Amino acid sequence: MARTDPGSAPPAPPVPPVPLAALLARRELGLRLLTGTDEVALHGVHTSEMADPYPYLLGGELLLTAGVQLADPARFVARVVEAGAAALGFGVTPVYDTVPAELVEACVRHGLPLVEVPPGTPFAAVARALWRLMAEARLSELRRVTEAQQSLATAAARPAPVPAVLHALASRLGGRAVLYGGDGAEWAAAGRELPAEAARALAELAGVVGPRPGGPASASGEGGGLRLAAYALGGGDGLTLGVATERRDPGDHTVAGVAVVLLSLLTAPRRATDVAVRDGVLTRLLLGAPAAEAAAVLSPGPWTVVHARGGDGTPFAPAGLAAALGTDLVDAGPPVRLLLPPDAPVTAQPGWTLGVSAPAEPSALPAADAQAGRALRRAEATRSALVRHRADGLAGLVDPAEAAAHARVLLAPLGEAQAETLRAWLSLHGSWDRTAAALGVHRNTVRQRIARCAVLLDRDLDDPDVRMELWFALGRK
């Protein structure tokens, strides 16, 4: 696609760039660097035999050409540099036997790396090798980001989560992480100490972001020979995260973003209140207070108890489930047990099996905990993602779908008239006369139909257990 705005630089593709040196190291390609440095970053590859390839370049490419229309090497190189190409690859044969000296001189003059592509190497092979290197770099970067996310989440579950998260972030990025208060003072920090110039620059950059109207959520810069970045935390209290590193890799912003989310949750006033509530309840219980007295610390509710099994097997999976359900009150179990505040909706979560209690007042939480446990067992038995407690007597202990299936099988031998007669007869406690009056038939007809039901069902209808089972089935047919 032709570039329509030469004055604007298009965004880099969402994959890590590959240094030219990595491509040159592929011996099967036989590439040779003639001019320039092999440290340039390649964001892609493009082949063109146009006399002026400028309109078709985005910047950062390795441009491959055989010089079919290379009438003016100096102008060609000037246009390639102006387009922002990272390097030029020249294929010898079939047009040229060697790389033209004028082209080499122009590349030296403009500082453009020039690579010789030998006759036996197709341009497609060079492109395929570069895409493979970029895919490997992308996979490596995703692995690094995933490991960093796991490390940060694990740190957030520790007893002193804020310093732990800062330490994990500084360790993963190889620099320093600083949490600034709303007044610009340093609240907490981790990682290696910064030179005075870099520390001052990072603090100034942190002052640029924040919750003020129109203020940016993040900013980046350099100071003291280091790469600097600052991120505003959510919560409206003006906290800011500052990061200083020697280099900035493509995934660093993603890793820092995860830390920002975790630190925002950890420092939010709502969480501080929840932790105080939880600690107050636990303290009372440990000191021997009755459960009812400890529960009185909680708000009136109603609260909901959730039991859960599943997750991805990582230590921070329960914390992730708690965040998804909107609570900080979680016991890692097993099973994982969560206490949800009022109005917190409970929905199925991927990879988890959930049992949900009925809403309960604080004094009824032990009963709600038992309800959630029974609901989880039903969910596991029926392979359901979520089962809620049903307060509808003994019938509620049986899954409705299973009950309906059992009723269909049990009553299958009966015709419609026979089933209706049996229903009426059971509801009237086996009275022949009252059943006949209710159905508008003769009492002998009732006797004949009930006798026929006993034969078809192969059941003793004088047995109370049989009558109860049939009554249950008729109610779910």
pLDDT at residue number 273: 46
Contact 84, 59 (CB under 8 A): yes
244, 319: one domain: no
The pair of three-digit structure tokens given for residue 123, joined into one six-digit string? 């341009």
The band of 37, judged by pLDDT with boundaries at 50, 70 and 90, is: very high
SS3 136: helix
Q: Enter the DSSP assignment of 303.
A: B
User: For residue 423, is it within any domain?
Assistant: yes
Q: Using one digit for the tens of pLDDT, what is the confidence trace for 183-221?
A: 788 888 888 899 999 999 998 888 888 655 556 778 888
Q: Which of 113, 131, 149 is the last residue of a domain?
A: 131
pLDDT at residue number 236: 56
The pair of three-digit structure tokens given for residue 225, joined into one six-digit string? 């020979």
- Given a cut of 70, whether residue 394 has pLDDT beyond it is no
Q: What is the CA radius of gyration of the chain?
A: 36
User: For residue 143, is it within any domain?
Assistant: no
Contact 429, 443 (CB under 8 A): no
Range of the domain at 433: 400-474
Q: Which residue has the higher pLDDT, 33 or 415?
A: 33
CA distance 258 to 145: 10
Helices (H), 240-364: 252-267, 269-286, 291-295, 317-325
CA distance 249 to 143: 13
111, 76: one domain: yes
387, 404: one domain: no
pLDDT at residue number 284: 55
Distances (CA, A) of 105 to 33, 35, 48, 86, 109: 14, 9, 21, 17, 6
Average pLDDT score over the chain: 82
The pair of three-digit structure tokens given for residue 219, joined into one six-digit string? 């900013």
Q: Average pLDDT, stretch 452-471?
A: 87
- Given a cut of 80, whether residue 358 has pLDDT beyond it is yes
373, 404: one domain: no
User: For residue 32, is it within any domain?
Assistant: yes
231, 334: one domain: no
32, 113: one domain: yes
Q: Which residue has the higher pLDDT, 344 or 131?
A: 131
Kindly report whether the peptide bond that precedes residue 302 is cis, defined as omega within 30 degrees of 0: yes
Angle between helices 416-427 and 443-457 (to 10 degrees): 110
pLDDT at residue number 3: 46
Give me the percent of the chain exceeding a pLDDT of 70.
Answer: 83
Q: Using one digit for the tens of pLDDT, what is the confidence trace for 270-327?
A: 444 455 555 555 555 555 556 566 555 566 668 888 999 988 666 657 777 887 787 7
Q: Which residue has the higher pLDDT, 273 or 32?
A: 32
The band of 73, judged by pLDDT with boundaries at 50, 70 and 90, is: very high
Contact 470, 462 (CB under 8 A): no
Distances (CA, A) of 241 to 121, 203, 211, 223, 272: 49, 10, 13, 16, 19
333 contact partners, CB below 8 Å, separation of at least 6: 308, 318
Class of residue 321 by CB neighbours under 10 A (exposed 0-12, middle 13-18, buried 19+)? buried
Q: Using one digit for the tens of pLDDT, what is the confidence trace for 95-126?
A: 999 999 999 999 999 999 999 999 999 999 99
CA distance 422 to 403: 19
At 16, which amino acid appears?
Answer: P
172, 229: one domain: yes
314, 365: one domain: yes
User: For residue 1, is it within any domain?
Assistant: no
Q: Average pLDDT, stretch 48-77?
A: 94
The pair of three-digit structure tokens given for residue 288, joined into one six-digit string? 């021997």
Residue 427 belongs to a domain with what CATH number?
1.10.10.2840
Residue bearing tokens 């001189």: 105
Residue 233 belongs to a domain with what CATH number?
3.30.450.30
